[in-house]
Amino acid sequence: MHLLSANASRMLSRAFSLIEVVVAMAIASIILMALYLGISGGFGLMNATRENLRATQIMVEKLESIRLYNWAQLNNLAFLPDTFVDGYFPAGTNTGNSVGSAYYGTVTIGEVPFTELSYATNMRMVTIEITWTNGTIPRVRQMSTFVSQYGLQRYVIQ
């Protein structure tokens, strides 16, 4: 039988067993992976939110420019381009050569859906649709508004 000194016995009782070390490392690994996944997921969500915001800005910019057209220009299909491409970074704001994500847009000017009303012939529905790709996921946003012949845009020179 082995007899250990009191000092050696205390040293052995202070050490961790191999099983305890493996379990502790597994728990620490799971915690670190969860932390990493949470941070990277947060950055991904922030990027998607920024891209959505930029798509909304582009649509609002196009709809605000529609306000400045008079009725004849709005109804002239050759005057207003029906497709456009814009970048994530607005023109003149990025010092590099990259424009970021490309946003492809379509402008549709059509009849209003409520044709039974007497003033429906004096109105148009303008729809802007933006498509872009977030990584491998295609995204689509759409915004519509109504424009009337005798509406708020009367300050535009006819």
pLDDT tens string 64-106: 888 888 888 888 878 888 999 998 887 666 666 666 788 999 9
Residue 16's pLDDT band (boundaries 50, 70, 90)? confident
- The amino acid at residue 17 is S
Q: What CA–CA distance (Å, rounded) separates 151 from 128?
A: 20
- pLDDT of the residue at 67: 82
- pLDDT of the residue at 2: 62
Would the pTM of this model clear 0.95, i.e. be above it?
A: no
Token code pair at residue 113: 């859906």
Q: Is the dihedral of CA 132, 99, 92, 95 positive or negative?
A: positive
Question: What are the residue ranges spanned by the domains of the chain?
Answer: 6-155
Across 51-74, average pLDDT: 90
Q: Strand, helix or coil at 94?
A: coil
Contact residues for 82 (Cβ-Cβ < 8 A; gap 6+) = 106, 107, 108
Token code pair at residue 155: 């300050």
Rg, the chain, Cα only = 31
- The amino acid at residue 9 is S
Contact residues for 81 (Cβ-Cβ < 8 A; gap 6+) = 107
Neighbours of 91 (CB within 10 A): 8
Beta bridge partner(s), residue 123: 148
Name the nearest CA neighbour of 123 among 115, 114, 107, 112.
Answer: 112
